[in-house]
Amino acid sequence: MLYLSSILSVIFAQTESGGSLVGFLLPIAILGGLFYLLLVLPQRRRAKKAKELRDSIAVGDEIRTIGGIYGTIRSEDDESFTIDLGGGSTMRISRRAVAERIGEDS
């Protein structure tokens, strides 16, 4: 208990310049919280939504890649899709390259 009281006295003690350690750390903690709320949480939500999209795509779905290429999924494996581009052309793409599903259920 003596150890805790000595820690608290150091935290709340006035420094030579007139401020306390709490007055110094409080703005840093507030900025850290704002950083988390404004940058980290939205990025996590976007990543979760993109993962759900990649996991829900099946053979026959029409998609658009991050490069703007439109095609229909013809086959899939663990890490990639093969898409039909039309006119007999196919392309193998990474699962992470899918930007959106095109159609009525997107």
Statement: the pTM of the whole predicted model exceeds 0.75: no
Q: Collapsing DSSP states into helix, strand and coil, what is residue 9?
A: helix
pLDDT for the residue 100: 93
Rounded Cα–Cα distance for residues 98 and 96 (Å): 6
Each residue of 46-100: pLDDT tens digit? 999 999 998 899 999 999 999 999 999 999 998 999 999 999 999 999 999 999 9
How does pLDDT run across 11-24, given as a tens digit for each residue?
666 555 556 777 77
CB atoms within 10 A of CB 98: 21
Q: How does pLDDT run across 41-50, given as a tens digit for each residue?
A: 999 999 999 9
